Chains A and B, each alone.
Chain A
Amino acid sequence: MSGFMNPYDPNIRLTAGCACGRHSTQAEHDAGAGGDQLESGSAELQARVVESAVMRALFPHDDMRRRFLRAVGAGTAMSAISTFFPLGAAKEAFAQTGKLEKQSLKIGFIPITCATPIIMSLPMGFYARQGLNVDVVKTAGWAVVRDKTLNKEYDAAHMRSPMPLAITLGAGSNPIPYTVPAIENINGQAITLAVKHKDKRDPKQWKGFKFAVPFDYSMHNYLLRYYLAEHGIDPDKDVQIRSVPPPEMVANLRADNIDGFLAPDPVNQRAVFDGVGFIHLLTKEMWDGHPCCAFAASKEFVTSAPNTYRALLRAIVDATAFAAKPENRKQIAEAIAPANFLNQPVTVVEQVLTGTYADGLGNILKVPNRIDFDPFPWHSFAVWIMTQMKRWGQVKGDIDYAKVAREVFLATDAAKIMKEAGMKAPATSSKKFSVMGKEFDPSKPDAYIAGFAIKRS
């Protein structure tokens, strides 16, 4: 993501980068000086970002771009491209940020790999590149993240994607309009069981188990309930599900307080690392591409500081795009593992991000998309989450699914910025998907709920 190098320079590569991403090579980064650097936040820099995005879109393979430029020369290339692509207009649209209302921001996060884009943006310079001075603050639990965000101690935060919906609907707190400008990660969760249960791989044998999930309003809770219910286990009657902060899960599993958990990584991999548990199932096997955590901000922040919000969103979308490339994952693992961020052994984070991992039973598995990154907040995700909230009695009464989804999951903004960053954004904001082989049609949420045998509503 070296969007800062002159894209018309055939001698540089647009794809590779150093640790901070601002230099074309690591050596250059170490020297502290780029050959052709522009000051962060300047108008030329913004223009260059757009040019780079266009060039990247035109020449997905960097070799080709370089050969093309060498053959025709930068000037010819520039005029050739501007004849069929309105570069000027694109630059203007992207530069339409105006002055940042607020430069110093605080963003709260929970130390799990879901927070990857939020965390990595600091050490790898994605925030700085948007002219933002961001401090990421590690927080002890979801309730504290919620309260500190509602208090405005945090300008934005890492949340479970259902949380902003719950806050907006007023479940578990007073209703306050909240928004999800971007989803952080998809997949990346797993069901981990204590090693002593390694022969009980059939959920039907799980009656009487005690499970932990990170939060009541989390994908983990809904996915675990869904999984159990599909296997005929009533999640409220046959097993116990408690809400336990992720960092405490491995300790509880070790102490035999719980039999297993559906948790975000690196918790699952950490249980394997310490010989306490084994990975029973990756959630991607239930629903490939499910959302997990979200980057959330209050509606007030979005409307009162629109330029800052857009800059922040651009940073997150850029980081997400960078993280989506498997070749960058190792480098990210090294950047986010230290004590300041996840505070985990690098190998644990690396196994989670690269998807080549030890399963706790002596096997090494290779699942490259064990965790993946896609910022687009699909409205249909929001609708699915709300159907589950209703299914398990967390919200009562009728919900205007489409309206809430539209208001909370800001798909239009994300799509716009993804396009600006040179990513492919979906044309619609709703899609059908299936969870454990059962099709979900976002236009018929009530029929979907009615279709379940085990439910509380």
Chain B
Amino acid sequence: MPRSGRLASALLSILMFALFLAVWHGATLPSGGTQAADSEYAKMVGSAAASGQKTAMPSPKDVAVKLWEHAKDPFYVRGTNDQGIGIQISYSIGRVMLGFGLAALVAIPLGFLIGMSPLLYRAFDPFIQILKPISPLAWMPLALYTIKDSVTSSIFVIFICSLWPMLINTAFGVSAVRREWLNVARTLEVTPMRKAFRVILPAAAPTIMTGMRISVGIAWLVIIAAEMLVGGTGIGYFVWNEWNNLSISNILCAILLIGLVGMVLDQILARLARAVTYPE
């Protein structure tokens, strides 16, 4: 894209954001209470309830103030149930990495096998098709019941949800390697191991990376929900805990942070995918 075009798109982005803030600000302007309750009663309820209204959405300014508070001190620990947002998000990232890593360890070799053998492909297919669409959270009660440990259970849920896209993409990538290349390998009498690592893997790498990118996205979506369900630590727990306190400002901060981290994870894998693509 030419430089002027990039500048224009950046300007447009800023404009859209400003418009969004303006609409938000306008929508959350206090609408002026009608009846003012007596002062003693007013002290016992929230400011909105005192004038006969429901507590409103926080304004952009409220959220900015909260964000600044979190940014100033992201790593505090004030007891088991009250830790900084930075610590919470590290817990979540750690769980995603562990579950995702385990899934990659299983899915890529297995996908390779399935992709190389049409027989296995067809034999595994019905199971994969049934297991793939199950919402990972549906596994949670089963995991809690059998694994008997909530942290391991949430890692298991991440594992199971990141498994399928990687498995399917690996199998597909491996099976779709061009016949000519395999034929060339055969004419040169390449050993099976050498064929797998020097011909198939590089050829299938871009598809595998795409599968991993989809998986990490799903894993990041699921960890929030899993942590909201099980509690304890993590950004999902943070959201739940602030919901408990009906603190929408804090929840918005968490939402922003979740989006940012998700974007970074996605970008890392996109970079990796670009590194292994090859021109045909």
A250 in contact (CB, < 8 A): yes
Give chain A residues whose Cβ lies under 8 Å from the Cβ of B46: 273-275, 345
B48 in contact (CB, < 8 A): yes
- Tell me whether B41 and A151 are in contact (CB under 8 A): no
A254 in contact (CB, < 8 A): yes
Give chain A residues whose Cβ lies under 8 Å from the Cβ of B246: 250-251, 270, 274
- Tell me whether B55 and A275 are in contact (CB under 8 A): yes
Shortest distance between the CB of A115 and any CB in chain B (Å): 12
Mark A315-350 against chain B: 1 for CB-CB distance below 8 A, else 0: 000000000000000000000001111011101000
Mark B76-101 against chain A: 1 for CB-CB distance below 8 A, else 0: 00111110000000000000000000
Mark A273-286 against chain B: 1 for CB-CB distance below 8 A, else 0: 11110000000000
B202 in contact (CB, < 8 A): no
Shortest distance between the CB of B75 and any CB in chain A (Å): 15
Cα distance, A251 to B242, chains bound together (Å): 12
- Tell me whether A364 and B41 are in contact (CB under 8 A): yes
Give chain B residues whose Cβ lies under 8 Å from the Cβ of A153: 148-150
Q: Taking CB as reference atom, which chain A residue is nearest B78?
A: A340
Shortest distance between the CB of A428 and any CB in chain B (Å): 39
A358 in contact (CB, < 8 A): yes
Mark B48-84 against chain A: 1 for CB-CB distance below 8 A, else 0: 1100111100000000000000000000001111100
- Tell me whether A338 and B82 are in contact (CB under 8 A): yes
Give chain A residues whose Cβ lies under 8 Å from the Cβ of B82: 338-340, 343
Query: In the complex, which of the residues A111, A272, A340 contacts B244, with contact meaning CB atoms closer than 8 Å?
Result: A111
Shortest distance between the CB of B134 and any CB in chain A (Å): 20
- Tell me whether B150 and A148 are in contact (CB under 8 A): yes
Cα distance, A144 to B40, chains bound together (Å): 40
Q: Taking CB as reference atom, which chain A residue is nearest B47?
A: A275
A130 in contact (CB, < 8 A): no
Mark A362-397 against chain B: 1 for CB-CB distance below 8 A, else 0: 111000000000000000000000000000000000
- Tell me whether B80 and A340 are in contact (CB under 8 A): yes
With A275-B55, A364-B40 given, is the CB distance from A147 to B144 under 8 Å? yes
Give chain A residues whose Cβ lies under 8 Å from the Cβ of B52: 275
- Tell me whether B240 and A151 are in contact (CB under 8 A): no
With A147-B144, A340-B78 given, is the CB distance from A140 to B230 under 8 Å? yes
Shortest distance between the CB of B224 and any CB in chain A (Å): 13
Cα distance, A153 to B54, chains bound together (Å): 39
Q: Taking CB as reference atom, which chain A residue is nearest B151?
A: A153
Interface-central residue, B49, B81, B237, by most chain A CB under 10 Å: B81
Query: Which of A131-139, A208-216, A294-302, A439-447 is found at the contact surface with chain B?
Result: A131-139
- Tell me whether B81 and A341 are in contact (CB under 8 A): yes
Q: How many pairs of A and B residues are in contact by the CB < 8 Å rule?
A: 111
Mark B142-163 against chain A: 1 for CB-CB distance below 8 A, else 0: 0011001110000000000000
Cα distance, A358 to B230, chains bound together (Å): 34
With A147-B145, A343-B241 given, is the CB distance from A357 to B37 under 8 Å? no
Give chain A residues whose Cβ lies under 8 Å from the Cβ of B245: 339, 343-344
- Tell me whether A358 and B45 are in contact (CB under 8 A): yes
- Tell me whether A137 and B80 are in contact (CB under 8 A): yes
With A153-B149, A274-B55, A275-B46 given, is the CB distance from A138 to B243 under 8 Å? no
Query: In the complex, which of the residues A144, A250, A345 contacts B150, with contact meaning CB atoms closer than 8 Å?
Result: A144
Shortest distance between the CB of A248 and any CB in chain B (Å): 7
Q: Taking CB as reference atom, which chain A residue is nearest B42?
A: A358
With A136-B80, A144-B230, A275-B49 given, is the CB distance from A362 to B44 under 8 Å? no
Mark A132-176 against chain B: 1 for CB-CB distance below 8 A, else 0: 000111111101100110111100000000000000000000000
Shortest distance between the CB of B258 and any CB in chain A (Å): 18
Give chain B residues whose Cβ lies under 8 Å from the Cβ of A347: 43-44
Give chain A residues whose Cβ lies under 8 Å from the Cβ of B44: 273, 347, 351, 357-358, 364
A306 in contact (CB, < 8 A): no
Shortest distance between the CB of A155 and any CB in chain B (Å): 14
- Tell me whether B144 and A151 are in contact (CB under 8 A): yes
Query: In the complex, which of the residues B41, B80, B81, B149 contacts A358, with contact meaning CB atoms closer than 8 Å?
Result: B41
Cα distance, A141 to B231, chains bound together (Å): 9
A247 in contact (CB, < 8 A): yes
Cα distance, A139 to B150, chains bound together (Å): 11
Cα distance, A278 to B46, chains bound together (Å): 13
- Tell me whether A248 and B243 are in contact (CB under 8 A): yes
Mark B232-254 against chain A: 1 for CB-CB distance below 8 A, else 0: 10000100111111100000000
Cα distance, A135 to B81, chains bound together (Å): 10
Give chain B residues whose Cβ lies under 8 Å from the Cβ of A345: 46
Give chain A residues whose Cβ lies under 8 Å from the Cβ of B150: 144, 147-148, 151, 153
B201 in contact (CB, < 8 A): no
Cα distance, A351 to B46, chains bound together (Å): 13
- Tell me whether A275 and B54 are in contact (CB under 8 A): yes
B185 in contact (CB, < 8 A): no
Query: In the complex, which of the residues B48, B81, B144, B232 contacts A275, with contact meaning CB atoms closer than 8 Å?
Result: B48
Give chain A residues whose Cβ lies under 8 Å from the Cβ of B53: 275
Give chain B residues whose Cβ lies under 8 Å from the Cβ of A248: 243
Which residues of chain A have a CB within 8 Å of any CB of chain B?
111, 135-141, 143-144, 147-148, 150-153, 195, 247-248, 250-251, 254, 270, 272-276, 338-341, 343-345, 347, 351, 357-358, 360, 362-364
Give me 8 other A-B pairs in contact (C-beta within 8 A), A147-B144, A275-B46, A343-B82 excluded.
Answer: A143-B141, A152-B148, A275-B52, A338-B82, A345-B46, A358-B41, A362-B41, A364-B41
Which residues of chain B have a CB within 8 Å of any CB of chain A?
37, 40-41, 43-46, 48-49, 52-55, 78-82, 141, 144-145, 148-150, 228-232, 237, 240-246
21 pairs, CB–CB < 8 Å, chain A vs chain B: A135-B80, A136-B81, A137-B232, A140-B240, A143-B141, A144-B229, A148-B150, A153-B148, A251-B243, A273-B55, A274-B246, A275-B48, A339-B82, A339-B241, A340-B81, A340-B82, A347-B44, A351-B44, A360-B45, A362-B37, A364-B44
- Please name the 4 residue pairs, one residue from A and one from B, whose CB atoms are nearest each other, closest first: A275-B49, A340-B82, A247-B244, A340-B79
